[in-house]
Structure 1
């Protein structure tokens, strides 16, 4: 099962789907160099073409040079995967000024297995969010959970995406008008996958099955759209919850981030 899931992930989700919403994408050998709204650079690839350590160092230097010449790009993320063959990549990224962030688990599961009945407190209502106020309320909650001072701009970007793409779904759990948990469902066009993103729950409401129920509702919605697999890059906090829901860890991903030096 794990091998089947990982093979589907590599074939269907890497490169094109990751850069689908970019403003600009340039190819450098096996690398896809994407520029997103807000001055964010992103580097990904299906594989590194069998490059040795010297070749990988040249790819890292070339990828960074592409963005360093563009003043509007404030930071660049190089997305690594734990199962790739990439000799010397860690050392090359560090030498170029990239800083590794916390590794995340690549989780995949069958949507049909995740559409479970989960018991939650009676005062909790789970529903899909449609209004701008609901999206902003979910964003504010997520900003508190992740200590993200830039939550409003992310929420406003989500509002814009939802206006033009009705496949992007935000699901929320509400108690007395307050959003206590939220997460997105994002089907990936042309694949069997949908992504589970942005999952978060207020600390005082954790451990009551709410996030599992939120995952189950998103799974049911995914099935209605003909989706087979659900995928998430999860922290060590959310990984056990997703495992209880039926997702399997198939690999890891570690973002390495380069930030433009201050003038």
Structure 2
């Protein structure tokens, strides 16, 4: 894999020209590409050291006037210099950093789970409840907004939700997002309930999404990996492309827990 070429392609295709999920709009203003709607996210930008301060201040004013949260993800290779410090000064708060990783779908992933584990794609509302519940077990809190958002997309070919079940109970979940005419699929989630870790469920969920993406004719997968997931993904053939930090601007007076629940 030519990492520089893949990274440039990712920036141009996924970030600068995003294909938003249902209910999310793409806006271009002040040198920024933003996703807005169910969540607000700065996807790409064309800023200089001279223009970034004004652009950041304008977005802070815009979203705080509406009482809405805004996320801005910054990668190692992003400019302009001093952007992270500018975001911090404007009131954005950093999440723990992760690692952007790519997988070349010309390769393969071995991901057979332990006996008694079933991995399947979510097709029903019952399985969607299991998906949300499994995420809650894995990460410590349920993302309740997912029920309403994903219920409308169970037959959407551009999004695939997966669960891993033990004795009929969903104990792990993961998501794959795709878009027509694109070469990248994006991996999200990938959490396993603590009592069921070290049984191959995470690897099996990756393998299921690799198979789905390859069937769609995609060339690569991307993921922003937590430090706990990165070693597993590297063993599966994912290649690190640099660190990333997601900066979040929270509405005035809204505690972090309440803000996260509404995003």
SS in 1 for 2:107: helix
Whole-angstrom CA distance in 2 between matches of 1:125 and 1:59: 48
Are residue 262 (structure 1) and residue 253 (structure 2) matched? yes
Following superposition of structure 1 onto structure 2, how do residues 101-120 of structure 1 map, counting pairs within 5 Å?
101-114=95-108, 116-120=109-113
Are residue 139 (structure 1) and residue 132 (structure 2) matched? yes
Whole-angstrom CA distance in 1 between matches of 2:29 and 2:21: 17
Are residue 55 (structure 1) and residue 51 (structure 2) matched? yes
Q: What is the RMSD computed on CA atoms of the aligned residues?
A: 2.0
Distance 1:257 1:32, change over 3 A: same
Distance 1:4 1:173, change over 3 A: same
Following superposition of structure 1 onto structure 2, how do residues 8-157 of structure 1 map, counting pairs within 5 Å?
8-17=9-18, 19=20, 21=22, 23-37=24-38, 40-45=39-44, 47-49=45-47, 51-52=48-49, 54-71=50-67, 73=68, 75-114=69-108, 116-149=109-142, 151-157=143-149
Q: CA-to-partner distance for each residue in 1:24-78, whole Å, 9 max, x for gaps? A: 44322320233222xx322231x434x12x421111112222222324x2x1111
- Is the Cα contact below 8 Å between 1:22 and 1:34 reproduced in 2? no
Q: CA-to-partner distance for each residue in 1:180-207, whole Å, 9 max, x for gaps? A: 2221121133310111111111112222
Equivalent residue number for residue 210 of structure 2: 219
Q: CA-to-partner distance for each residue in 1:104-162, whole Å, 9 max, x for gaps? A: 11111112313x3334211111121211111111211111221224x222233112233
Whole-angstrom CA distance in 1 between matches of 2:213 and 2:192: 21
SS in 2 for 1:65: helix
**Contiguous gaps of at least 5 residues in structure 2:** 255-263
TM superposition score normalised by structure 1 = 0.88
- Is the Cα contact below 8 Å between 1:173 and 1:210 reproduced in 2? yes
TM superposition score normalised by structure 2 = 0.88
Whole-angstrom CA distance in 2 between matches of 1:145 and 1:217: 19
SS in 2 for 1:162: coil
1:244 paired residue among 224, 227, 235: 235
**Contiguous gaps of at least 5 residues in structure 1:** none
Whole-angstrom CA distance in 1 between matches of 2:25 and 2:207: 35
